[in-house]
Structure 1
Amino acid sequence: MEQVLRPIYQERASFPDTLGVILVEKRRKDDPITDTFDAILLIITTDDEVPIFTKHYTDGEEKAVMHIISEKQLHKWLLLGSKRKVVDWLFYGKVYFDRNEFVEQLRSEMWEYPFYGRNMKMGLELSKLVRGYIEGKTFFEQGSHMDAYHHVVESLHHLARLAVIENGLFPEVTVWSQVKKIDPSIYKLYEELITSQEPLEKRLELLFLASDFFIHNRTADGARHIMDVMMEKQQWTIQELYEQEELKMYSINLEVFIEFLVEKGFIQVVKSDSKNEWIYHRDYRVE
């Protein structure tokens, strides 16, 4: 497939806005890194007009995908962890073009400065973990054990990613392989949930007890980002929090996360006057 793609990446390498060209080839038949394709051609560009541009190719037998990604979009993915496979592509792909050593420097930064954006990443993962935990527990208490199981598995994935980020690493596609080495207790928890022969209700019950412990131990670090942002002013409305540039990344998890941090004492509720004397605005602050 490399031979077929060569004219394409050679042409792209000649464009002045192209920063790097990376080829990622499938290593085995069931390799998840290439999204079912035989090869991925990743092209990084300074042009942000179209942050993500994708094309599919085939030579009649094999298939390939070309992703043209803006530098800004790439950094956003790396910061938010929203495109996990891009970490694998950058680390394990073969570099065919590297303008001014952009790709090499990016790889070095990822290895040498893995704590960049760490507080934000931890906050985002904790907010997702908390939402999954709360929703899972609600379903469990209602007797909807399969729905609870779905949310619990999802929340455990966020716990795993949180553990990896805590250790200054980038969560990869095979995050559980990382967690098995970094925090065996979390891996064991996941393994028990998935493979145990205990009744599902019993497994979930034990999982929620353990999750309380893991969440409690990570709340202070996971709350640091949102609290640092909130220190910028004395008091916030919920709308102001939604509109704050960095907090926009919490998306639908923001309100649930704020209420969780209120409950844990990290954020204080402030009542302020409204037009109606019988009701107050509910604002927020940190001390």
Structure 2
Amino acid sequence: MTNIDINLNLYLTAFEKMADAVLLLNAKDERFINCNEAALKLFAYPNKTAFLNQKPADISPTHQTDGKSSSQKTTESYALAKQTGFHRFDWQYLKHDGSTFSAEVTLTPIIVEEEEIFHITLRELSEHILRELTERIQIPESIIKNIMAYLESEKTNVASMSIDQKIQELNQHTGPTELKGLNILIVEDDAFMQEVITELLERFGATFIVANNGAEALEALEKDQFDAVLMDLHMPLMDGFVATLQIRKIEKFANLPIIAVTASVSEEAKQRCLRTGMNDFISKPINVSKLLSKITSWTKVSE
């Protein structure tokens, strides 16, 4: 297939603005002759001078994950790209500090000013997988990121799982009716956190009311019946500690589960939550699985 012929000035203008990491490789000596800022960031290099003039072997481990040598696979990739016009594959790379990462690579032969060059687009494989997971199971990207981070902390083999295995794991932690039938009072003054929590609760089947401070929470409790309260600690007018003390003074709310949502994870803060009358606590940023676990655990206890 004929290589793509490109005007140098137009190409370089677009090249620098690309969001994906892009490398330019001289096809003759197989050395990198240019890269954009996204590539420097991905490989954690301080500047182009430190990165350029290297060969692919210099930024790759000796062998790829399938056991084949990086050198052999590089030669095969060049040949396939020239034969078909482009070649897309997964690759293990080395960052400047020696750590490794996986990327989805698109290798395209082009002609720039009569010189044969390989245009190499990189996207971290985790981003590629995230995009596919989002499309296939129709769950917001923010939720998938949160759950995957939790799974990776709990299971050492998550990174090596296939897409289908990852989907199976996600489905076990994202049952859409896991909180169905529960009505949750969210006491939170931060608009962003309100959006995060309501998105999660809605996804898992719960209904909810949002109160911007402790005073509004007390009013909401008198008007509606709730299965649990997610209580921020620091709010204007009435904070979470005072609100909890006031709630516990009302006999019918003596057993209402109150879960603190806090950025402070110190032992002192946790003990203060418990002394005030809260049942449990969860730290920000919110871990989806832990939040679900705490809500289901306390609502079952209170039944």
Shared topology, TM-score over 0.5? no
The structure that is helix-richer by fraction is: 1
Bigger relative contact order, structure 1 or 2, given CA contacts below 8 A and separation 6+?
Answer: 1
TM-score, with normalisation over the residues of structure 2? Answer: 0.23
Larger Rg: 2
Indicate the structure with greater strand content: 2
